[in-house]
Structure 1
Amino acid sequence: MRYAKDGQPLRVQQLVRNDRLFGRAVDLFWKTWGEEGGRLFYEDAMTHALTDVEGTPSFYIAVKDDVIVGTYALLRNDLNSRQDLQPWLACLYVDPEMRGGALGAKLLGHALVETEKRGYRSLHLTSDLHGYYEKYGWKNIGVAYNTSGESIPIFHNYTRKEGADQS
């Protein structure tokens, strides 16, 4: 899927092979979301995701001028207490230089389309960001608990077939 900001083409793609972008993507996911010394966790998870590119987990990058400017992942569970819900959107990131250009909204819409392709009718995420996801049609449906016992809001949205807001 291609988008543009400032006239420069931008593509959103799933990581489907260990190529030159793969290592950069692992580094970005880890540096953005991981803990010190935890790069191996991301590399292992992302490498094993390559074995079934039509399932979950799946990792995505937004690329502009050969630079990764955004990310997200579709996961079976986002390391929280709500093991009954799946799939989960995680690791949504937009490079600070690209913020304000609706890339985050585009990645959210892309995630819903990819979720539907995998046969799911809805998608979940956890975030303590108030007001952001709601403006794109996501509904707060309660809380989950992380591995430290802290609560975090759960958001839910439907895929296109179910009438998701694709802003």
Structure 2
Amino acid sequence: MKIIAVHEHPHLFESAVQLFWEQWGNEKNFRFYQDCMIHSGKTEDGIPRFYAAIQDEQVIGTYALIRNDLNSRQDLHPWLACLYVDPGSRGKKLGARLLDHAIEEAAKLGFKKLHLQTDLQGYYEKYGWTHSGEVYGASGDFIKLYEKDTGASSGRNDKN
């Protein structure tokens, strides 16, 4: 199993877009996911980026580093989003490996912290994430905000 940046592996691009969209999209927004992923990794700070865990040329897990996870905290970035493990690959610590990879990638890009929003209870705390508040979505509902230090010293993205 290896974890790859989707934009660096064009032969897996379409299957990765399909999986991201199937997990978080709806019938109207396939092009949204596709366009986000087409432009992945092309900015000065490297965000957004989409990653896939690959085994036998099949996508078995995903995550993304994005500028904002469609919430009220526009001042925070990057965000970990789209963490997914295929049901057939669960129970093998792949989620933990994807989380570790996300922290490493954010650190390589110079970010001191990584943020996420979730309604899961207890999952991210097992991996050292800290519940640091709430964020609000466009619907007005709130969701828990978590953060984790990346271990990055200083760099071009050291504000967050």
With structure 1 as the length reference, what TM-score do the two structures score? 0.87
| Residue matched to 1:131 | 122
| Residue matched to 1:6 | none
Instruction: Report whether the alignment pairs 1:30 with 2:21.
Output: yes
4+ runs of 1 displaced by more than 3 Å?
none
**Does 1 or 2 have the higher relative contact order (CA < 8 Å, sep 6+)?**
2
| Cα offset, 1:94, TM superposition | 0.3
- The 3-state SS of whatever aligns with 2:83 is strand
| Cα offset, 1:52, TM superposition | 4.0
% identical aligned pairs: 50
- The 3-state SS of whatever aligns with 2:64 is strand
State the aligned residue count. Answer: 153
| Cα offset, 1:147, TM superposition | 1.2
Q: Answer whether contact 1:63 1:70 (CA < 8 A) is retained.
A: yes
Measured against aligned partners, the alpha-carbon deviations of 1:135-165 in whole angstroms (never above 9, x if no partner) come to 0000100100111111000010011347xxx
**Which residues of structure 1 form unaligned runs of 5+?**
1-9, 163-167
Measured against aligned partners, the alpha-carbon deviations of 1:9-37 in whole angstroms (never above 9, x if no partner) come to x0001012462210000000000011112
Instruction: Report whether the alignment pairs 1:115 with 2:111.
Output: no
Instruction: Report whether the alignment pairs 1:83 with 2:77.
Output: no
**Which residues of structure 2 form unaligned runs of 5+?**
154-160
Of 26, 41, 64, 1:73 maps to 64
